[in-house]
Amino acid sequence: MPVIIAAIATLGVAFLVYCICWSLFSNPLARIPVPKSFALTKWRLAYEDYKGTRTRKIHALHGQYGPVVRVGPNEVAFNSLSAMRAIYGAGSGFERTSFYHMFSTYGRMNMFSFNTVEQHAERKKLFANAYAKSTILRGENAHMIETKVGKYMQLLEREGRAHDIFPTLHYFSLDNITEFIYGDFGKTACLDGVEKDRALLRDIINTGSRKLTWFTVHSPKFIVWLYSRTGIMGCIARQFYPMQKPIPYTSIKLHAMKACQGFSHASAGEKAQQSSLISKLWKHHRSEKDGGLDDLDIASECADQLDGGIDTTSDTLMFAIWSLSRPEHRRFQQKLIDEVRTLSEDELNAGGIPRAEAADKLPYVDAVIKETLRLFAPLPASEPRSLSKATTVDGYLIPARTVVSISPYTLHRNPKVFKDPLKFNPDRWLDPSQDLAQMKKFFWAFSSGGRMCIGMHIAMAEMSTLLAALYRNYTTEPREGFDVVSPGITSRFEVFYDEGCSGMREHECQIEFKSQ
pLDDT tens digit sequence for 35-79: 899 999 999 999 999 999 999 999 999 999 999 999 999 999 999
User: How much is the pLDDT for 326?
Assistant: 96
Peptide bond into 73 cis (omega under 30): no
Contacts of 430 (CB under 8 A, 6+ apart): 363, 364, 367
3-state secondary structure of 312: helix
User: How much is the pLDDT for 269?
Assistant: 87
* Closest among 112, 108, 153, 120 to 298, alpha carbons compared: 108
* pLDDT bucket at 481, cuts 50 / 70 / 90: confident
- CA–CA dist 303, 165 (Å, integer): 25
* pLDDT bucket at 335, cuts 50 / 70 / 90: very high
* Whether the predicted pLDDT of 395 surpasses 70: yes
Please provide the distance, in angstroms rounded to a whole number, between the alpha carbons at the two ends of the chain: 88
User: How much is the pLDDT for 271?
Assistant: 86
Domain 123-184+192-206+248-515 adopts which CATH fold? Cytochrome p450 (1.10.630)
Residue 195: count other Cβ atoms within 10 Å of its Cβ: 7
- Flag whether 235 is marked binding: no
* Whether the predicted pLDDT of 287 surpasses 60: no
Model confidence pTM above 0.85? yes
* Closest among 391, 409, 417, 411 to 498, alpha carbons compared: 409
Report the mean per-residue pLDDT for the chain.
92
* Whether the predicted pLDDT of 24 surpasses 70: no
Strands (E), 289-424: 385-386, 391-393, 396-398, 403-405
User: Which pairing describes strands 403-405 and 75-78: parallel, antiparallel, or unpaired?
Assistant: parallel
* Whether the predicted pLDDT of 110 surpasses 90: yes
Q: Where are the domains of the chain?
A: 123-184+192-206+248-515
* pLDDT bucket at 485, cuts 50 / 70 / 90: very high
- CA–CA dist 86, 340 (Å, integer): 40
For 48, 84, 210, 437, the CA distances from 406, given in Å and listed in that order, are 17, 7, 21, 20
